[in-house]
């Protein structure tokens, strides 16, 4: 093997940064479940894929394809959509929207332009597992994980100051290690928790960021994936765009940034569309300089402009989607109750957390095959035919998506 020229050290370093990719590669080789042709195949519940609305969007695309008008005002359509549904404290203007090819590319782009290598971004855990790759693989950001495991409800206003205290402790620890923190990143609604942060909690986070001169970033790709829950105590979705300026506490709209896309709420991952909404002109410009690597196709731009511009179609879509999403959640949660599998109640997104703690004792911790969570996850996939995302950022939790059938 000595004749093979190796990749760069930074490329090789990424092999260790996200071992879940290796497990997913193995899982993807397993035959997929089919009720007629492969009844013992794998049921993959790990991906937050919106399978509920394909019929609706197929009709929209068929109607669009009959004329296929070329349109280039997607930023205007997105701004109008955000103003209608995200209740911004300041109306979103088209020139405040930057279009990229999906939110993963966008997070990488924003991290690159907010942080120099080795600088930190705070995230609350549990949260989206792939933030590690999005933030670190190319931008070289240090992911500063802030655990909320001992807080009863990280999303509720009743506990927001406890979460802020955890953030303050993490800031102090970073200073002692010489790590400069530049931003805080939220997943709101939160994947994998299936919950949204209260408006008061978001304001307290913004004030924390203001005190420390940090950017507040929010991945809100599931913003319209909220539904009525049987638990009335769960907060409904509120966007960071709705946070009002609060100069006395250092809160300014120019330091608050929202990221959105077409893939989750609108079941259109194939369009590869992501949107940065920022009132920070300099951040918009430096991100725009690198958009050459995140171009979107003419079809994606034209179709989604056409769709968002049809306000009646969007309204009908969201009403039907939320109805189907609620029915899916109620069915999945009822099945878990019937099987005595504990889970955390949810009202946002197409996923929620289940607790498999008592099964971990059957597996040794770490070693060549990884942690107990990894071993349990692999066992369930290979032996039981069910694959779920692990909750290693908060041990004993696993992420389950609503099954579509």
**Res 232: pLDDT:** 72
Query: How does pLDDT run across 244-262, given as a tens digit for each residue?
Result: 999 999 999 999 999 999 9
Of 3-7, 154-158, 305-309, 351-355, minimum mean pLDDT range: 3-7
Query: How does pLDDT run across 10-19, given as a tens digit for each residue?
Result: 888 877 766 6
Domain boundary among 285, 310, 335: 310
Please check whether residues 242 and 378 belong to one and the same domain.
no
CB atoms within 10 A of CB 337: 11
Please check whether residues 200 and 270 belong to one and the same domain.
yes
Query: How does pLDDT run across 175-230, given as a tens digit for each residue?
Result: 999 999 999 999 999 999 999 999 999 999 999 999 999 999 999 999 999 998 77
Radius of gyration of the chain (CA): 21
Please check whether residues 321 and 367 belong to one and the same domain.
yes
Q: State phi, psi for 365 to the nearest 5 degrees.
A: -85, 135
In a domain, 379, yes or no: yes
Geometric angle at alpha carbon 131, from 128 and 134, rounded to 5°: 145
State the pairing for strand pair 181-187/215-219: parallel
Q: Assign residue 242 the CATH number of its domain.
A: 3.40.640.10
Domain count of the chain?
Answer: 2
In a domain, 292, yes or no: yes
Query: Where is mean pLDDT largest: 4-18, 23-37, 68-82, 309-323?
Result: 309-323
In a domain, 263, yes or no: yes
**Res 62: pLDDT:** 86
Mean pLDDT calculated for residue range 77-100? 98
Query: How does pLDDT run across 360-386, given as a tens digit for each residue?
Result: 888 876 565 678 888 888 899 989 999
String of DSSP letters for 235-278: PPP--GGGPPPBGGGTB-GGGEEEEEESTTTTS-GGG--EEEEE
**Res 44: pLDDT:** 87
Please check whether residues 200 and 240 belong to one and the same domain.
yes
Contacts of 181 (CB under 8 A, 6+ apart): 119, 120, 121, 122, 144, 171, 174, 212, 214
pLDDT top residue among 357 and 199: 199
**Which H or E run contains 401?**
strand 397-401
Distances (CA, A) of 22 to 14, 61, 99, 139, 162: 12, 35, 31, 22, 36
String of DSSP letters for 73-126: -HHHHHHHHHHHHS--SSPPPGGGEEEES-HHHHHHHHHHHH--TT-EEEEEES
In a domain, 60, yes or no: no
**Res 396: pLDDT:** 38
Please check whether residues 278 and 332 belong to one and the same domain.
no
Please check whether residues 115 and 204 belong to one and the same domain.
yes
Mean pLDDT calculated for residue range 37-45? 89
Mean pLDDT calculated for residue range 316-340? 95
Where does residue 364 fall: left (phi above 0), alpha (psi -120 to 50 degrees), or beta otherwise? Answer: beta
Please check whether residues 292 and 319 belong to one and the same domain.
no
**Res 132: pLDDT:** 86
Please check whether residues 129 and 218 belong to one and the same domain.
yes
Please check whether residues 232 and 289 belong to one and the same domain.
yes
Model confidence at 393, pLDDT cuts 50, 70, 90, reads very low
**Res 18: pLDDT:** 64
In a domain, 65, yes or no: no
In a domain, 206, yes or no: yes
Residue 274 has pLDDT above 60, yes or no: yes
What is d(CA 334, CA 328) in angstroms, rounded to the nearest whole number?
10
Q: Is 362 within 8 Å of 94 (Cβ atoms)?
A: no
The range of the structural domain enclosing residue 170 comes to: 70-310
Model confidence at 27, pLDDT cuts 50, 70, 90, reads confident
Please check whether residues 36 and 117 belong to one and the same domain.
no
Mean pLDDT calculated for residue range 92-103? 97
In a domain, 151, yes or no: yes
Query: Where is mean pLDDT largest: 1-5, 31-35, 62-66?
Result: 31-35
Contacts of 85 (CB under 8 A, 6+ apart): 223, 224, 318
Domain boundary among 256, 281, 310: 310
**Res 69: pLDDT:** 67
Q: What is the biggest distance separating any 2 CA atoms in the chain, rounded to whole angstroms?
A: 64
pLDDT top residue among 71 and 62: 62
**Three-state DSSP class for residue 203:** helix
Q: Is the pTM of this model over 0.85?
A: yes
Domain boundary among 310, 329, 361: 310
DSSP 3-state helix, strand, coil percentages of the chain (rounded to 5)? Answer: 45, 15, 40
What are all long-range contacts of 355-363, with beta carbons under 8 Å and residues at least 24 apart? 355/396, 355/397, 355/398, 356/396, 356/397, 356/398, 357/396, 360/395, 360/396
Please check whether residues 282 and 388 belong to one and the same domain.
no
- Output the average pLDDT for the chain: 90
Please check whether residues 34 and 140 belong to one and the same domain.
no
In a domain, 62, yes or no: no
Q: Assign residue 27 the CATH number of its domain.
A: 3.90.1150.10
pLDDT top residue among 357 and 170: 170
């Amino acid at each position: 093997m000595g004749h093979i020229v190796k990749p760069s050290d930074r490329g090789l370093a990424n092999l260790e940064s996200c071992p879940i990719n290796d497990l997913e590669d193995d899982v993807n080789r397993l035959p997929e479940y089919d009720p007629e042709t492969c009844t013992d195949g794998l049921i993959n519940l790990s991906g937050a894929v919106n399978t509920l609305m394909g019929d609706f969007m197929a009709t929209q695309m068929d109607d669009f394809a009959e004329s296929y008008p070329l349109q280039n005002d997607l930023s205007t359509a997105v701004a109008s959509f955000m103003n209608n549904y995200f209740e911004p404290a300041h109306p979103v203007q088209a020139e405040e929207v930057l279009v990229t090819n999906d939110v993963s590319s966008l997070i990488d782009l924003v991290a690159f332009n907010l942080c120099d290598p080795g600088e930190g971004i705070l995230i609350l855990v549990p949260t989206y597992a792939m933030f590690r790759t999005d933030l670190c693989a190319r931008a070289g950001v240090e992911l500063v994980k802030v655990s909320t495991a001992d807080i009863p409800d990280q999303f509720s206003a009743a506990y927001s100051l406890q979460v802020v205290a955890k953030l303050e402790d993490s800031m102090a620890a970073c200073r002692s290690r010489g790590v400069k923190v530049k931003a805080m990143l939220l997943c709101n609604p939160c994947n994998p928790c299936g919950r949204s942060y209260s408006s008061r909690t978001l304001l307290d986070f913004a004030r924390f960021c203001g005190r420390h001169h940090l950017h507040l970033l929010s991945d809100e790709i599931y913003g319209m994936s909220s539904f009525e829950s049987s638990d009335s105590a769960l907060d409904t979705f509120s966007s960071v765009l709705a946070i009002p300026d609060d100069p006395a506490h250092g809160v300014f709209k120019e330091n608050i940034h929202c990221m959105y896309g077409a893939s989750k709420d609108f079941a259109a991952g194939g369009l590869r569309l992501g949107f940065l909404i920022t009132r920070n002109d300099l951040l918009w410009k430096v991100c725009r300089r690198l958009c050459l690597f995140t171009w979107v196709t003419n079809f994606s731009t034209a179709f989604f402009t056409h769709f968002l511009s049809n306000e009646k179609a969007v309204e009908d879509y969201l009403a039907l989607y939320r109805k189907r999403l609620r029915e899916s959640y109620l069915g999945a949660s009822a099945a878990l109750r019937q099987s005595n599998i504990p889970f955390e109640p949810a009202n946002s997104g197409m996923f929620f957390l289940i607790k498999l703690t008592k099964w971990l004792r059957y597996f040794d911790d770490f070693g060549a095959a990884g942690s107990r969570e990894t071993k349990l996850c692999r066992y369930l996939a290979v032996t039981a035919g069910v694959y779920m995302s692990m909750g290693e950022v908060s041990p004993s939790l696993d992420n389950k998506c609503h099954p579509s059938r």
